[in-house]
Structure 1
Amino acid sequence: MKKLLCAAAVAMMSSPVVAAPLCDDLGFAGLLAACNRGETIELTLASGQPLGEDVTLESGAYYKLQITADGSAELAIEGASFFRAIWMNEIVINSIEIRPMAIDSIEFDKAGVVELSFIAIKPGRHVVRIPGSTGDAQSVTFSIQ
């Protein structure tokens, strides 16, 4: 038993420490508390441009995802795996708040901004991409730890 405890202690000390956005006392707001919020994630939908960079999220933390379309083409993003791995608080479009159960994709016919607020839940790697695209720059991988 002592060997097992020592091995566990050594393993914990040798792995890098990741600063989690989670706070010790969530208070009345619970998981939506300000101290539980990660940084805003920004994606850009533009014809021929990269979608964004891969992102690592902490399970149980609250995030905002801002997607901006420049209107250069009619574009969408899809990622059913990602959208099923999060609890979505709301989607805000033109100051209108929508509280959905689930979504599969979001399509922009012209320039605009949509903001999703959510709590990352299910650990794993989840890809969000422009439908029908094959290039690596046309997708973003969300890794939930």
Structure 2
Amino acid sequence: MARLLVVHHSPTPNLRAILDAVVAGARHEDIEDVDVVVTEALSTTLDDVLAADGYVIGTSANIGYLSGAVKHFFDVTFDTASEATRGRPFSYWVHGRSDTSGAERAMESITTGLGWHKVVDPLCFLGPPDDAHLAAASELGATVAATLMS
């Protein structure tokens, strides 16, 4: 069975709603043979990353950058993961109050360095998530999970 790792930093109700939608999409009844593992960024280990076949990363945009938790996740896994996980499918979401551009640039730079393959456009937006945002989050999770189906 393939493994999808969803790494997130979701300390607010808005971020939790996005996470829940991503996970619901990834666990949709039409997705078969994919184990969805959800971990908080500060608790995610290198072993978690190496054991996964694909990734969804979720972060807030804090002061124009990734959340400190997601940045820490990449700091502790990048060197080894960049060789071992090259080419694996992924996508991400970034949610902010005023600007997500710095966090988006960081995600692009980091995941390019990892050699991961983006399989669906990321979800990046400002303000409270509405029904369209949550539907897009669900679709993001489902799409990444579907790429892992055998």
Whether these two folds match at TM > 0.5 is: no
Which has the greater radius of gyration? 1
Of Structure 1 and Structure 2, the greater strand share is in 1
More helix by share: 2
TM-score by length of 1: 0.32
Q: Given the two structures, how large is their TM-score scaled by the length of structure 2? A: 0.31
